[in-house]
Structure formats: structure tokens, C-alpha cells
Homo-oligomer: A and B are copies of this chain.
Amino acid sequence: MVKNRVNREIPEEFAEKYNVYAGETANIKEYKESSRTISPVKPGETKLLASLQEAIEKVGLKDGMTISFHHHFREGDYVLNMVMDVIAEMGFKNISIAPSSIANVHAPLIDHIKNGVVTNITSSGLRDELGAAISSGIMENPVVIRSHGGRARAIVAGDIKIDVAFLGVPSSDEYGNANGVKGKAVCGSLGYAKVDAKYADKVVLITDSLQKYPNTPISIPQTDVDYVVEVDAIGDPSGIAKGATRFTSNPKELLIAEYANKVITASPYYKTGMSFQTGTGGASLAVSRFLKESMIKDNVVAGFALGGITNQMVELLEEGLVEKLLDVQDFDAPSGVSLGSNEHHYEIDANFYASASNKGSAINQLNICILSALEIDTNFNVNVMTGSDGVIRGAAGGHPDTAMASDMTMIISPLIRGRIPTIVDEVNTVITPGDSVDVVVTEVGIAINPKREDLLEAFKSLKIPQFTIEELKEKAYAVVGNPKPIVYGDKVVALIEYRDGTLIDVVKNV
């Protein structure tokens, strides 16, 4: 066992292969970018194939190869299951899959794992059935969890070498110019897919909406695409882009949001030109609402908002309260529409968004980010991956990326959930190290990371109850009692890779 900088014990075999987490930027070094093998397409050659099977044959898929998918279609995705079914039918085994994330709808992967078709997975997260199956130990090799920025880094650095990317796209022409803003099943930004397209040896686009050449705007260019396959449907629009998100009416969430807004507006970052990223949960969206009111009152205009975009952000843009949106993915239908029509709403890829090892990510320019948590411990470490039962059910997303890079990282969370404390002595799984976290906001008050002396000073006269993180924990434990320790098995079922490629934690079976 090797103990890393957040006191997590990493088994030797994994510690040797990945190195262990040694601090936010300890492992950021000059490196040689990964490159792909290009099979030139000559004049007169067509890329349009009749079926997925033909595409799989033409790209030369072999047992043991790595294939990738994107998660822009979320719970509406048909593509991953469709492709995996064909691959299984064709008899392939020992495939590594590297989707940008995995949704509930991908539970059929459980059978492909059991049948030996899929033997390795890397993903931002795992949900419900698949998460539980992985946590029960159905895979021989641990899943590798990577944040959105960490995945981009891994692809650019060659730690993930994608042999074939199967990318569903809402629209494409026959030569492979694709975007997510036209077609039957619009998803908006193709920010995660763009990275796969650029670094994979072979790229197959799967679409249900062929367009005339040249299909513009060009999110994925023809120069990154080998083949195009037309299918009946790539996804369920109602699962891909939900309608406009509603605001919460939960009083606890509203109080958290009100406190969070007070923290933002009292911070040194709150001024015209500022930048921020908010999440999609009820409390996060409520923060946006309160922040909007403050910005109008104080005549503050933000320079840009970043990240996964919601209709709340689009409204801020349209009302002139935010000058630009940088968009790596869209969470609802209005955001996809805005991306396709508003020149100040700009698509970026996951590498541009959040990689730790490029020539500068957008998150490096971020003043404020608001993130959620399943657990926060007294070292400010955050868990967004495993539940209180130790079972994998979350996703790293951009959590460790934005937390590390932004000037002020706020974790908003209720003090307890049901009978479970949120502030604990030690989180089950460290996804984001405490060094990256600045302010924890709960409904009873806030805790500021003591290393942020500047913020302790800035918030001295702030009219919100302020506590140490230990005090918040005591308050939580006082209500629901000390949490019982989880009984884990001995098998490592998931490796938690920090955004720099080192291991920050492992998850064992339960």
C-alpha cells in the first residue's frame, strides 16, 4: 500500500502503474502529445456505409481494442447500446470501452461484461444498476474513473488510446461534417465527442439526419471522420434534451442558494467581468436566480459563464447579464437551440474546457464555481462518486477540474440528507481534494477553508453563520449520530484517477 497526499491507501500494483496523487499540480509536466494513424481518403471515395456492421468491419475492429462513445445524449442515448449489441453479435471479446460518461440507460452493459465482450471500462461515472453491479465485483479489472478534464488529458497524452470512436451526431453530411444543433435529436454542444474525433485512429459517425455537404456549423470536421452510418434514430429527444429546468421550491435548497449568493456577492470576484460556473441541481439553479437578481441590482455584468449550460445561463446571456457562454455540453433543449443561434454562445471541447495538461484550459480563467457533493470531510475533501452505502452511483464530471482551477470553489450541500450526514470525518471516496475547496455552504451556515485567509478576512462581516468545518460536522452528527462504517471487501472495483493522471483513491467492492 502507498499512502497518497490525501491519506488514501493505494495498492502497490496500481500505485506503480499510475503513480499516486501528490498535490494539485505536482504531476503536471511537459509531454509529447498523442497522435493517430491516418488513413487518407482520396477524391471519389465515399464514407457513407450501409450499416454499423459494415463500419465495424471497415475500421478493422479487433478483440482487445479500445472504443469510445460520448454522453451528450444522456438518458436518451441509443448509440452505445446499439453499437455494443452489434459488436457482441459479431463475436468480439475483450473490448475496452471509454465513454465520456455512462447513464442509467446503459445498464445492458452488464450483460456484455458478463459475456466477456467488455473487459475494461473508463468513464466519468457509473449509475444505478451498472454502478451497483460494478460495486458488487462483476469485473476482473477495475473501472477507471476520470473527470471530464482528466479524460481529455488522458486522451491527449495517450493514456487512453482510442482505436475506434463511435460517435452519435444529431446531424452530419456524407463526408462527416457534424454538429449537435441540427437534426431530429438535438443535443447542442458536442464538446466531449470532439476530443475523441481528433485523437482516435478511426472515427465512425452515426446519425439519423444526413445533411447536404457542407453541413455547418462544423463541430466535428470531415478531416476527423472515416465513415458515416445512417440509422433510424440515434436517441430519444426527451431523454437527450429535457425541457427548461424548473426552480426548486425546497426551503432548505433555497436557503443554501441564498447563502451561496451572499458569499458570491461579498467576494472580491463579484464585479463586472467576472466569470462563473454553476451546476444543474435544484440549489445550483436557485443560486443562478438569486445571483441574477443581485447582478441586476448591482449593475454587474459577467464576462462569461462556463461549463455544462442550462436555460438559466442562456437567459442570463440573452438578458445581457453574461456576455458569453463557453459550452462543453447542454443540459436542456433551450441551451441547444441557443448554441445554434447565438454567436456569443460558443462551443468548446473538453480539452479546451478542463484539461490539466494543455496550454491553458478555460477553467483556469474561472473566478467562481459552484459544485455539489455527496460528502465533504473535515479536510474539505469531496465525494461525488459513492453513496453512504459505498456503492458507486455518481460521476466525477468536471468537479475536480473546476474546483482546482477556479479562484473560489464553493461546495453547496445540505448538512444532512435523510438520516445521513453530509459533512463527515472522512469521505468514502475522494474525488476532489480539500486543497481545491474554498467554501462549504449549507443551510445552517458556511465553513471557509482555513488556508484561504483572504476569504476569512473578506467574509468577516458577512451576515451568514460561519463555522469551522469540524463544527459543521459536529452539527450534522448531533442530528443523525455518527455514521456507521461501510464494510468493504478486498477487491478494488474502481480506480479514481485525479485530473493529472495519478490515483487519488480506489473503491473496493461491497
Interface residue ranges, A against B (CB under 8 Å):
25, 28-45, 47, 156, 175-176, 203, 212-214, 216-218, 221-226, 273, 303-304, 323-324, 326, 343-344, 346, 348, 351-352, 355-365, 404-405
- Nearest-neighbor residue (CB-CB) of A224 within chain B: B359
Pairwise interchain contact A42-B25, C-beta atoms closer than 8 A: yes
Q: Please give, as numbers and ranges, the residues of chain B lying within 8 Å of A44 by CB-CB distance.
A: 364
- Nearest-neighbor residue (CB-CB) of A44 within chain B: B364
Could you tell me the distance between the alpha carbons of A404 and B36 in the complex, rounded to whole angstroms?
26
Return A352 CB to nearest CB of chain B, in Å.
Answer: 5
Return A156 CB to nearest CB of chain B, in Å.
Answer: 8
Q: Please give, as numbers and ranges, the residues of chain B lying within 8 Å of A34 by CB-CB distance.
A: 35
Say which residue of B35, B37, B324, B365 sits within 8 Å of A30 (CB atoms).
B37
Pairwise interchain contact B217-A304, C-beta atoms closer than 8 A: no
Q: Please give, as numbers and ranges, the residues of chain B lying within 8 Å of A36 by CB-CB distance.
A: 32-33
Pairwise interchain contact B212-A358, C-beta atoms closer than 8 A: no
Given A32-B38, A41-B364, A226-B359, 13 new contacts (CB under 8 A): A29-B40, A32-B36, A35-B35, A38-B156, A38-B359, A41-B360, A176-B359, A212-B273, A214-B303, A216-B346, A218-B346, A222-B362, A343-B343
Q: Please give, as numbers and ranges, the residues of chain B lying within 8 Å of A355 by CB-CB distance.
A: 223
Task: Tell which of A30, A156, A221, A304 has the most Cβ of chain B within 10 Å.
Answer: A221
Return A359 CB to nearest CB of chain B, in Å.
Answer: 5
Pairwise interchain contact A38-B43, C-beta atoms closer than 8 A: no
- Nearest-neighbor residue (CB-CB) of A33 within chain B: B35
Pairwise interchain contact B41-A217, C-beta atoms closer than 8 A: no
Return A348 CB to nearest CB of chain B, in Å.
Answer: 8
Pairwise interchain contact A43-B359, C-beta atoms closer than 8 A: no
Say which residue of B30, B41, B343 sits within 8 Å of A216 (CB atoms).
B343
Q: Please give, as numbers and ranges, the residues of chain B lying within 8 Å of A38 by CB-CB distance.
A: 30-33, 156, 357-359
Pairwise interchain contact B37-A33, C-beta atoms closer than 8 A: yes
Return A495 CB to nearest CB of chain B, in Å.
Answer: 22
Q: Please give, as numbers and ranges, the residues of chain B lying within 8 Å of A303 by CB-CB distance.
A: 212-214
Query: If the complex has contacts A346-B217, A365-B175, are A30 and B40 also in contact, measured as CB distance less than 8 A?
Result: yes
Could you tell me the distance between the alpha carbons of A405 and B43 in the complex, rounded to whole angstroms?
6
Pairwise interchain contact B359-A216, C-beta atoms closer than 8 A: no
Query: If the complex has contacts A35-B32, A35-B34, A365-B175, are A40 and B359 also in contact, measured as CB distance less than 8 A?
Result: yes
Return A220 CB to nearest CB of chain B, in Å.
Answer: 11
Say which residue of B28, B40, B223 sits within 8 Å of A40 (CB atoms).
B28
Some 10 contacts from A to B, beta carbons below 8 A apart, are A28-B42, A30-B39, A33-B37, A41-B364, A43-B405, A212-B323, A213-B365, A214-B326, A223-B352, A225-B360
Q: Please give, as numbers and ranges, the residues of chain B lying within 8 Å of A31 by CB-CB distance.
A: 37-38, 40
Query: If the complex has contacts A42-B28, A357-B38, are A344 and B33 also in contact, measured as CB distance less than 8 A?
Result: no
Q: Please give, as numbers and ranges, the residues of chain B lying within 8 Å of A351 by CB-CB distance.
A: 223
Pairwise interchain contact A47-B360, C-beta atoms closer than 8 A: yes
Could you tell me the distance between the alpha carbons of A176 and B425 in the complex, rounded to whole angstroms?
43
Could you tell me the distance between the alpha carbons of A221 and B45 in the complex, rounded to whole angstroms?
31
Could you tell me the distance between the alpha carbons of A498 and B463 in the complex, rounded to whole angstroms?
72
- Nearest-neighbor residue (CB-CB) of A356 within chain B: B40
Could you tell me the distance between the alpha carbons of A32 and B37 in the complex, rounded to whole angstroms?
4
Could you tell me the distance between the alpha carbons of A348 and B357 in the complex, rounded to whole angstroms?
26
- Nearest-neighbor residue (CB-CB) of A353 within chain B: B223
Return A460 CB to nearest CB of chain B, in Å.
Answer: 25
Q: Please give, as numbers and ranges, the residues of chain B lying within 8 Å of A156 by CB-CB distance.
A: 38
- Nearest-neighbor residue (CB-CB) of A273 within chain B: B212
Q: Please give, as numbers and ranges, the residues of chain B lying within 8 Å of A41 by CB-CB distance.
A: 358-360, 364
Pairwise interchain contact B362-A42, C-beta atoms closer than 8 A: no
Could you tell me the distance between the alpha carbons of A356 and B36 in the complex, rounded to whole angstroms?
17
Could you tell me the distance between the alpha carbons of A156 and B404 in the complex, rounded to whole angstroms?
34
